[in-house]
A and B are shown apart, each in its own frame.
Chain A
Amino acid sequence: MSLTNFIPQGNLFSTLSAVEVGAHLYWQIGDFRLHGQVLIVSWFVLFVICAFTLITTAQLETFPFQSRQNLAEYVFEFIQDLTKTQIEEDYEEWVGFIGAVFLFVFVSNWSGALLPWKVIELPEGELGAPTNDINTTAALALLTSICYFYAGLKKKGLSYFGRYLEPTPILLPINILEDFTKPLSLSFRLFGNILADELVVGVLVLLVPLVVPIPMMILGLFTSAIQALVFATLAGVYIGESLEGH
Chain B
Amino acid sequence: MSQLVSAASVLSAGLAVGIGAVGSGVGQGNAASRAVEGIARQPEAEGKIRGTLILSFAFMESLTIYGLVVALALLFANPFVS
Contacts and interface: CB of A to CB of B under 8 A. Distances in A.
B72 interface: yes
Nearest to A21: B76
Contacts of B78: 1
Interface in B46-82: 54-55, 58-59, 61-62, 65-66, 68-69, 72, 75-78, 81
Given A192-B68, A192-B69, A233-B55, A22 B77 contact: yes
The range of chain B's interface size is 10 to 19
Given A1-B6, A1-B81, A21 B58 contact: no
A196 B66 CA distance: 11
A226 interface: yes
A185 B54 contact: no
Contacts, number: 48
Contacts of A188: 62, 65-66, 69
B62 A195 contact: no
12 contacts: A1-B78, A21-B76, A188-B66, A189-B66, A191-B69, A192-B62, A192-B68, A193-B62, A226-B54, A226-B58, A230-B55, A233-B55
Nearest to A184: B66
Contact of A193 (B55, B65, B72): B65
A147 to B, nearest CB: 21
Interface of A: 1-3, 21-22, 185, 188-189, 191-193, 195-196, 223, 226-227, 229-230, 233
B68 A196 contact: yes
Q: A-side binding surface: helix, strand, loop or mixed? A: helix
B58 A22 contact: no
Interface of B: 6, 54-55, 58-59, 61-62, 65-66, 68-69, 72, 75-78, 81
Contacts of B54: 226
B78 to A, nearest CB: 7
Nearest to B51: A229
B43 to A, nearest CB: 23
B47 to A, nearest CB: 14
Contacts of B77: 22
B62 A185 contact: yes
B55 A21 contact: no
Given A1-B81, A188-B65, A193-B65, A227 B58 contact: yes
Given A21-B76, A22-B77, A185-B62, 16 more contacts: A22-B76, A185-B66, A188-B62, A188-B66, A189-B62, A189-B65, A189-B66, A192-B65, A192-B66, A192-B69, A195-B72, A223-B58, A229-B55, A229-B58, A230-B59, A230-B62
